[in-house]
Amino acid sequence: MLEGSVAIITGGTRGIGLEIVRLFKENKAEVILFGSKEETVSKAIAQLKSEGINVNGYYPNLNNYEEVGQIIKEIVVKYGHIDILINNAGISANKKIEDTTSTDFSKIMDLNVNAIFNMTKAVVPFMKENKGGVILNTSSMVSIYGQPSGVGYPASKFAVNGLTKSLARELAPFNIRVNAVAPGVTKTDMISSLPKEQIDPIIQSIPLGRIAEPRDIANAFLFLASDMANYITGNILSVDGAARS
């Protein structure tokens, strides 16, 4: 579905991001993963290599536009073009507001919002030059419903939705589609470590009767990145099993 495409995936070293890397490679894309540290990038690349999957990786500071821009230029020189950008890197939060410092809040907004701006700003000129592209952002179900604590996380994901919808309108004339995927509760390392008594009520609140597998979320990214979605832009696709909490 993605043969001949070059895709960059931030937050690609674990969880949903790593599964997107796998799925995009299965669908013949050339994939470059971004992570936060050299050791996590190296570990992910080694893990994928053990599975017979070869990718390249970088670990730029996504909040440093100059650093991001330089690496994007290097990628274009090496691969010739960038067709797909997946802005998946992010952090969550669950502190009550009285326990959340302004530094905590800024850290969330920096990675969940400002990093998307930097990556997108760096990639768009090359997509325009290539006469098209796809930008996909990772949102969250809490961007729609909020959450009872950790206000910075849903606030950042509301912002992601705003970026997505606005950029879709701005970039549509250049054949650049912009969408977001809003996952529900997904079986990542954090969720898998929770005790059964915490997981069971979560499952009971989901009409489909289970939490998502990373592949469920990756499949949504694959669809939106592919030509099957070539008339879809400006959408926030919920992948949450109809959960409403």
Give the active site residues. 153
Query: Cβ distance 153 to 108 under 8 Å?
Result: yes
Q: What is the DSSP string of the chain?
A: --TT-EEEEETTTSHHHHHHHHHHHHTT-EEEEE-SSHHHHHHHHHHHHHTT---EEE---TT-HHHHHHHHHHHHHHHS---EEEE---------GGG--HHHHHHHHIIIIIHHHHHHHHHHHHHHHTT-EEEEEE--THHHH--SS-THHHHHHHHHHHHHHHHHHHHGGGTEEEEEEEE-SB--HHHHTS-HHHHHHHHHTSTTSSPBPHHHHHHHHHHHHSGGGTT--S-EEEESTT---
Q: Alpha-carbon torsion 39, 219, 153, 87, what sign?
A: positive
CA 240 to chain centre: 16
Cα gap 120→115, rounded to integer Å:
8
Query: Cβ distance 183 to 157 under 8 Å?
Result: no
